[in-house]
Amino acid sequence: MEKLTNMAKETIDGLQHLIEFNLDSADVLEAAAKRVDAAPYARLFRQISGERRRQAEELQSYVCVNAEEPKTKGTAAGSLRKVWVDFRSALNGGDNYVVMIEAERSEDRILEKYEDVLKKTAGSPVNDVLMRHLRAVKGWHDQVRRLRDDIKQVKKV
């Protein structure tokens, strides 16, 4: 039976992936915060980014308790996404809608990753933590989507 201090390799691997995706998300959202020209959007992105870093730190602590070295950086693909946000934003003159699209895509990826890891680690004692994270991710995702849709509606007018 799996315990928090003796998790299965598959569970540790899932946590490691979530650490990377949280760090990727934090980096993309920090890049987005620098690219939007509306202070409320920038604050929101920084707030979500901080939440992602806290989630990564919490997952790192569970990896450490299991005598493993936790990931401390995001993925190469995440680094490319951050560059893409900068590039696409610059190409579109800092359009808030474009930045919001990329922020939502980042939220889509982390949401999918949490759902995937939860399926693979069903019954793990760390799943309560992952479910709490997932609820937070869904909440932020939905908020970013609503803002994106609001901006789209204003652009149509």
Q: Report the alpha-carbon distance of residue 118 to residue 126 in Å, rounded.
A: 9
pLDDT(38) > 60: yes
Average pLDDT in the 114-136 region? 95
Token couple for 23: 């760090």
pLDDT(113) > 90: yes
Q: What is the pLDDT of residue 91?
A: 64
Q: Report the alpha-carbon distance of residue 122 to residue 131 in Å, rounded.
A: 11
Query: Is there a contact between 11 and 2 (Cβ–Cβ < 8 Å)?
Result: yes
Q: Report the predicted TM-score, pTM, of the whole model to 2 decimal places.
A: 0.90
Coil, helix or strand at residue 3: strand
Higher-confidence residue of 102 and 53: namely 53
Q: Report the alpha-carbon distance of residue 67 to residue 1 in Å, rounded.
A: 18
> Could you tell me which of 72, 75, 44, 43 has the C-alpha nearest to residue 56?
72
Q: Report the alpha-carbon distance of residue 138 to residue 4 in Å, rounded.
A: 25
Alpha carbon dihedral 33, 31, 111, 131, in 10-degree steps, equals -70
The 10s digit of each residue's pLDDT in 41-88 is 999 999 999 999 999 999 999 999 999 999 999 877 777 777 777 666
Superfamily for 9-156?
Ferritin, core subunit, four-helix bundle (1.20.1260.10)
